[in-house]
Amino acid sequence: MTRNIFSVINIRDYWDQYVNIGKYPDCINELIFWRDNLPLLKAVDLVKNISNFHIFTDASDTGAAGFIQNSTKILHKMWLETETGRSSTWREVKAIQLCVSAFSKLLQNSIVTFHTDNKNAVSIINKGSKVQELQQLSLEIYRCCLLENITLHIIWLPRKENEQADLLSRIIDIDDWGISSEYFQFLDDLWGPHTFDRFANMDNNKVDKFSSLYWNPGSSAVDAFSCHWAQENNLLVPPVSLVCKCINHLVRCKAEGTLIVPSWPSSPYWPLIFDENTEYRSYVLDVLEFNEVDRILVSGNNLNSIFANGKFKGRILAVRLKATD
């Protein structure tokens, strides 16, 4: 938090030269930071305390991942197209920032050690960076730790000792697709407002509350089926393999929602929507069929999905479900 101040100091031609810091807003922001935060600084033990949590992170060409040691808590995110072109250092620091943000509530009031196989990431998080986008990431990590009272240590480890995080970062989400904002707005005007997006991630959620397959910053829950869906108007855009489970879970929860599925009469979920006479099941209020697929489906970061880039040529159903009676 002094990089811009020192940059201004170093532009002088001689020691006592006057510099108008009014021309340097970043320098002013740092001075304001110290003015506001010096009284809040807490005592820190000179001897390092034992960490409450150990988190291992890594970033590959396709995604970022991290996990809390001795737990099943895993963060995973596939890179957006705009993120794949960033430097490897940016991706490694971003993986750490995502973990800090996603796990922040679990890590409250704790000492946490992060393990990474990137030495540049260690230096940037400890000291910041002259590169603005890296400095911004380090500041986001700092602010989150300050807010949640997290004491963060970061250490380097050899790549061969970070294999689990490396493997997790290479996971390809074959169901990384969603619906367009335009289509969601149409459904929300018709059957909304929807209050919970049950099968989403931090890049494609349509409402503030969402559940994700892995831990994500902003996610309200991990694994949609671990939650009770009642008292919410649920947006349901599940992987095709989970549609049957999705309908059955909604019925068991006596909940309501809008389900988006391909129009596949031979699919296992078809009898859960229509009976043998093609009549609606008792919990189905309405079914709309759409053929403008290009305006409905949006590819995620897995461009090989059958629902990506115009590969899908069928029709889409919007099914209004209500099992609250």
Amino acid at 203: D
Q: How far apart are CA 188 and CA 183, in angstroms?
A: 9
- Indicate the fold that domain 53-170 takes in CATH: Nucleotidyltransferase; domain 5 (3.30.420)
CA dist 302 and 264 (Å) reads 22
Q: Categorise residue 249: left if φ over 0, alpha if ψ from -120 to 50, beta otherwise.
A: alpha
Residue 303 is predicted with a pLDDT of 73
Report the distance separating Cα 177 and Cα 179, nearest Å: 7
- Looking at residue 81, its pLDDT comes to 87
One-letter amino acid for residue 73 of the chain: K
d(CA 118, CA 155): 9
DSSP symbols for 203-262 = TT-SSSSBEESSB-TT-SEESGGGS--TTSEEEE---GGGHHHHHHHHHHHT-EEEEEEE
Supply 160's token pair: 């061969």
Residues lower than pLDDT 50 in the chain: none
| pTM > 0.75: yes or no | yes
Residue type, 158: P
Cβ-Cβ contacts under 8 Å for 27 (sequence gap 6 or more): 4, 5, 7, 8, 21
Query: Check: CATH 3.40.50 for 177-322?
Result: yes
- Taking CB atoms within 8 Å and a gap of at least 24, the contacts of 218-222 are 218/101, 219/102, 220/196, 222/73
Q: Write phi, then psi, for 265 (nearest 5 degrees).
A: -60, -25
In the chain, CATH 3.40.50 sits at 177-322
Q: Which residues contact 170 (CB under 8 A, 6 or more apart)?
A: 60, 62, 63
Closest by Cα among 53, 133, 34 to 93: 133
The CA distance from 323 to 282, in Å, is 8
Q: Could you give the CA distance from residue 234 to residue 220 in angstroms, rounded to a whole number?
A: 13
Give the strand pairing for 256-262 and 284-290. unpaired
Residue 175: its pLDDT value, please?
A: 87
Q: Give the residue range(s) of CATH 3.30.420.10 domains in the chain.
A: 53-170
- Give the whole-angstrom CA distance, residue 46 versus residue 28: 31
